[in-house]
A = this chain, B = another copy of it.
Amino acid sequence: MTRITMRPLLAACLLVGMGSALATDGAGQPGGMLGFTAAGAAAQQDLEQRFDALLDPAEQREWLKQMAAGPNQVGSPHDKANAEFMLAKFKAWGWDAHIETFSVLYPTPKKVALELQGPHPYTARLREPDVPGDSTPATQPGVLPPYNVYGGDGDVTAPLVYANYGMPDDYKELERRGIDVRGKIVITRYGGGWRGLKPKLAQQHGAVGCLIYSDPHDDGYAAGDAYPQGGWRPADGVQRGSVADMQQYPGDPLTPGIGSTPGAKRLALKDAKTILSIPVLPISYADATPLLAALTGDVAPAGWRGSLPLTYHVGPSTASVRLVVQSDWSQKPVYDVIATLKGSTEPDQWIVRGNHHDGWVFGAWDPLAGNVALLAEAKAIGTLYRQGWRPQRTLVYASWDGEEPGLLGSTEWAETHARELRQKAVLYLNSDTNGRGFLNAGGSHSLQHLVNQVAAGVTDPETKASVLDRMRARMLVAGSAKDAKPQAKENAELAAKGGDVPIGALGSGSDYSAFLEHLGIASLDLGFDGEDDNGGIYHSAYDTFDHYVRFGDPTFQYGVALSKVAGHIVLRTVDASVVPLHFGDFSDTLGRYVEQLHKLTDSTRKDTEQQHQLIDGRAYALVVDPTRPVGPPARDSDVADIRLAPLDQAAEALTQSAQAFEAAYAQRAASGFDLPPERLREVNGLIGRMEQSLTDRAGLPGRPWFQHMIYAPGLLTGYEVKTVPGVREALEARRWDEANQYAKATAKVLDGYRAQLDRITALLEKS
């Protein structure tokens, strides 16, 4: 499901010190391999070299071809066959493997129809024809028509309104033009925010149906040559996708917070908060064009216009549109493949590595390119095991099912095993799609230094520089662009300072959500991207093997690179003397987040004052063109007294504690971690549960499933992260009391994190 190009983060670098990196740990900082003694580090490097030598791009290609040969959505025969194929492989490679099955609510389309009535009637095609030359026909049996899962059933006929990306600001613009979507069907375009928000907001504004189309501006001919000439979306290509309200909770809509096991108590369908009531349908731009051409009314604002050869109007249309969606609401099985290698000395510390295996249709890019890298790691690790290597901690490799409709397989598994995971899981390492170019890493910032060290040791297949150097270069160049956004500039500044390349924070959109945001397990998400052309076939029937080997990673060298980066992180975390987390990176990052909140408060106050002056001074009224009236914006509420001092204090105290920890850690590392075994075990146990201390069981405002107080997907952005979300989202939504309340609550959580860190430091310092 992950669409890496939509994440804010990305790209990392550091050029200054690139030469001197050789004299350091490879990631711009002095010191050896994080968590290892000098001797352990040497052995580990040897192990990694042996691991690398076992990776074969031809195998990844072969597995991808086989697994993407048929439609593999949840409930399809090929999806089940893929699970069984992997089960057999894991077993053959020496893993203790099984398939864990959950029964979930997963509606599939029985009937979809869309027609424009009136003087220029049009019946939408709603299917993707075969593309000449692609050996995986898009029209083969078992391929479902394009749909958005977890919209409502309905048969509605109404005028159409165009709402751009369908985000909150778009409705404000409509309102200023006096356009009400109540009783209308809203047509929105993909992009600008998570897909599921479009019908949710349409429904909240009273619309009776919602269409989502792919404008060629965003991922069609305007972005690049369309498939099959190039990689981008052809006229009939459709982006499927979930529209469950996953900002409430992901997973089976009927079992929030608990596993969808046979005996689990399920909600009645009508009580499932994440399912929408209005019908929703994704369409191609070939089908959207006659509908958009039927719109009259004002010309759409400049930022709303796509690349179709017509004048975009906001509507409403005089002709009506009929939209029909009827689904089969039966339960379907999801097959999680779980493979374990038990730890020899620390079996109760788990390193979990996952990627999903279900696709929307064939899923070559998404998710199988990542999944075959995971398989390659598992095979190599199995071989090392057969050769006598034994993991210190326990390895759990998982290939999830049902990610696309709503992170079903990973969430149900995590919820089912929540108690054990909270006790044992040290790391969850995710990947999803994979492409060509640059390592794109996001996750818990206590893992940032580990990522940097590992990326410094893996060679980029194209440039022969290290993967880390290439991340740095990307970040520096991106931040130097004249139109670079503030986050890109900040990243470039950090990269230029010579320290670690910053990694991004995680929102949602792939299987790490339950681990990180529900259970509080330190998590990472990895993938290569930036040089491939994957945007245009995302979630369509053209996400095929042939497309991948032309426009993705033709040689599978980046599949191998992903296996190396992920494998090295896994192996180091499994074997380190001390679990390789680095808390100074987290405290530095948190300090920046708190600073951002101050800036947000200040700019909100300033913008509000300016808006009030403009309204009170009649400036908006005086700029209105009476022939095309646009009302003033709705008056924003006054900004109350915002009290961020608790956060300031918590962040400052944490900085002190992190410095103390690092000093104590450095001293212990210099002496080869010469701690009594029991105390070392206690240290590792505490480090492994550090991230959990960032959770609050009460959860975020209105969504108790999300318990991480530092990272969450934005309620109004979807996949995109909101850091310090309780405070940030309250500020953005102008809920001032809530912002102050969560500033305190978040500070309290941070104080707990600090206290746990101080305990670790004390254990390290104790002579």
Contact = CB atoms under 8 A, between A and B. Distances in A.
B531 A625 contact: yes
B437 A625 contact: yes
Nearest to A554: B627
Interface string A200-236: 0000000000000000100001101110001010000
Contacts of A620: 473, 477
Contact of A221 (B311, B463, B614, B618): B311
Given A15-B617, A16-B617, A469 B622 contact: yes
A610 interface: yes
Interface residues of A, number: 52
A299 interface: yes
Contacts of A627: 531
A271 interface: no
Q: Which of A225, A309, A469, A622 has the most CB of B within 10 A?
A: A622
Contact of A307 (B15, B307, B437): B307
Interface string A604-631: 0000001101100111111111111000
A227 B221 CA distance: 26
A486 to B, nearest CB: 12
A476 interface: yes
A184 to B, nearest CB: 22
B226 A623 contact: no
A345 interface: no
Contacts of A477: 614, 619-620, 623
* Copies per complex of this chain: 2
Contacts of A641: none
Contact of A13 (B18, B309, B619): B619
A623 B473 contact: yes
B221 A476 contact: no
A622 B222 contact: no
B610 A480 contact: yes
A465 interface: yes
A314 to B, nearest CB: 13
Given A309-B308, A477-B614, A617-B476, A225 B469 contact: no
Given A307-B309, A530-B625, 6 more contacts: A16-B617, A462-B626, A470-B622, A472-B622, A476-B614, A531-B625
Interface of A: 13, 15-16, 18, 216, 221-222, 224-226, 230, 232, 299, 305, 307-311, 436-438, 462-463, 465, 469-470, 472-474, 476-477, 480, 496, 530-531, 610-611, 613-614, 617-628
